[in-house]
Amino acid sequence: MSTTESIIIIFIAVLATATTRFLPFAVFGSDRRAPKILHYFGKALPPAVFGMLVVYCLKGVSFSSLGGFLPEMLALFAVIFLHLAFRKMLLSVSVGTAVYMLLVNFVFV
């Protein structure tokens, strides 16, 4: 890939990101309230995405050996505990990922 192509791709990515960030403020300024459906999506989508992430991460778990499912289950319990204790999605996902990676790389080798 040439330098020009790389610059064009970066520019398009920046433009798409900026558009999705600024468009809601342009459409729903400070004087207009957003529709109720958007408020519903704002409350319903984060838990739905979190649930889909859990299902995706656990879809390939093999219960044929202890090392096949124990790291995933321990990391899942860590995520559940942290989320119930602190209600911080970023903390739960980050620590759960770290627990899983440490278990897979150092305990269940």
- Is the pLDDT confidence value at 49 over 80? yes
The H or E element that residue 50 is part of is helix 36-58
The residue-averaged pLDDT of 56-71 equals: 89
| pLDDT computed for residue 56 by the predictor | 93
* Cα atoms in the 13 Å half-sphere on the side-chain side of 65: 4
The residue-averaged pLDDT of 46-68 equals: 89
> Mean pLDDT for the chain?
91
* Dihedral Cα 36, 40, 41, 43, nearest 10 deg: 140
- Is the pLDDT confidence value at 84 over 80? yes
The residue-averaged pLDDT of 57-80 equals: 91
The residue-averaged pLDDT of 19-46 equals: 88
Global pTM? 0.65
Helix (H, G, I), strand (E, B), or coil: what is residue 34? coil
